[in-house]
Structure 1
Amino acid sequence: MPDAPRPKQASTGPGANARWIVGGVLLVLAVIFILENRDPVGIRLLIPLVIMPQWAALTLTLVIGFIVGMLVSRRRK
């Protein structure tokens, strides 16, 4: 009888650890950058001008970038 196909396991080698470390460092830097930029700013969203705290705009941009990155990485696999 042939062996049943095994599910792929996530890599746990040194590359995976480095990936988590780099991701963690980038996340910490992003949070520091966001916390340092708390002044209200005007942001043009196509037509309306929205005034919001700069940290909120940066956080929104970070979340959108994260979602786009997740969608792109899922397509690649």
Structure 2
Amino acid sequence: MTGQTRNGGQILVESLLALGAEKGFGVPGESYLAVLDALHDTKGRLDFINCRNAGGAALMAAAWGTPTAK
């Protein structure tokens, strides 16, 4: 992506990938469409798990992250 303008969503997702993230949990919404678009562009390198509410997303992330240490 050298020489191209990136938006905040692309920068965030690239940073998560650089840190070794494999999964993300959240509630999709209009306020961060740029992030969702960037997640789609990863073509499966970073899985996004759609959750019904933020509390459920936090519990899912904790339940997945604790045994895997990720």
Q: Which structure has the higher relative contact order (CA within 8 Å, separation 6+)?
A: 2
- Larger Cα-atom Rg: 1
More helix by percentage = 1
TM value normalised by structure 1: 0.28
TM score, norm. by length of structure 2: 0.30
